[in-house]
Structure 1
């Protein structure tokens, strides 16, 4: 082989590695949705036991209001060294009545996702600002002083 063929093969391999390094990485998180199983949950026919047997345990359950089971599924995609973004998001909310029968099974998607952006990198608190040295040495001399609520020492 001559040098030009070797450099040509090396260039093709380098280009192949560069394009695979920039490909997107997809990650599934949460409940893995099976459309056939989800479609079998029917209001008025199923109950908590049959839903648990069909879909499995929910991602989380409601704490207030009607008993509701939530099955949450997300697919994120990201390129190397970049923050992941949500590609797909589904929530199946199965509501039950007091006796445990299914009232409704509603599916929502990405349109219900809310993006929050925090206001700054500090949480405002009440009170005064203290410096590092005041935090470190602030209690020196206050323990045992009369009128400050601490013990005054032995024999007092």
Structure 2
């Protein structure tokens, strides 16, 4: 009887340990569309057109906001460990620029090391008008009604 209790206790502890270790394993998520190097080598600067690029690489991840002749193919790997903040472990961006004749003008690759962090500002844009207290908002219009039937 005593050996059964020891065996049961060992199995329960081993089960909890396995569950604990499994919960702490990192989750890796792949996002985006990164072209294969052999596909990128098929694109020739000055010769390939937008149609050729779409046929070879597919549609871009995004098109630049202020220039529709700049296409971006973006891919990233994000690792999440338990409840910690997700961390980008790999990121690649392929930029393809087209000239006015819709021919490839530039093909450039960027990696995670090439990125620069963007620090958001904590400034607040002021709004027009004045700030009212709750009482001013509730009772502010008392006595301001005018007779429009005159």
TM-score normalised by length of structure 2: 0.80
Unmatched segments (≥5 aa) in structure 2: none
Report deviation, 1:76.
0.9
Report deviation, 1:130.
2.2
CA contact (8 A) 1:94 1:104 kept: yes
Report deviation, 1:153.
4.0
SS at 1:88 equivalent: strand
Match of 1:110 in 2: 112
Moved more, 11-20 or 126-135: 126-135
Q: 1:32 to 1:9 in 2, by over 3 A?
A: farther
Q: Paired residue for 2:148, among 138, 149, 154?
A: 154
User: Is 1:123 aligned to 2:117, yes or no?
Assistant: no
Report deviation, 1:138.
7.0
Report deviation, 1:60.
1.7
Q: 1:15 to 1:108 in 2, by over 3 A?
A: same
CA contact (8 A) 2:34 2:92 kept: no
Q: Hey, what's the Cα distance between the residues in 2 that align with 1:56 and 1:140?
A: 61
Match of 1:10 in 2: 12
TM-score normalised by length of structure 1: 0.77
Q: Hey, what's the Cα distance between the residues in 2 that align with 1:114 and 1:75?
A: 17
Match of 1:133 in 2: 134
SS at 2:148 equivalent: coil
User: Is 1:57 aligned to 2:59, yes or no?
Assistant: yes
Moved more, 108-117 or 20-29: 108-117
Unmatched segments (≥5 aa) in structure 1: 145-151
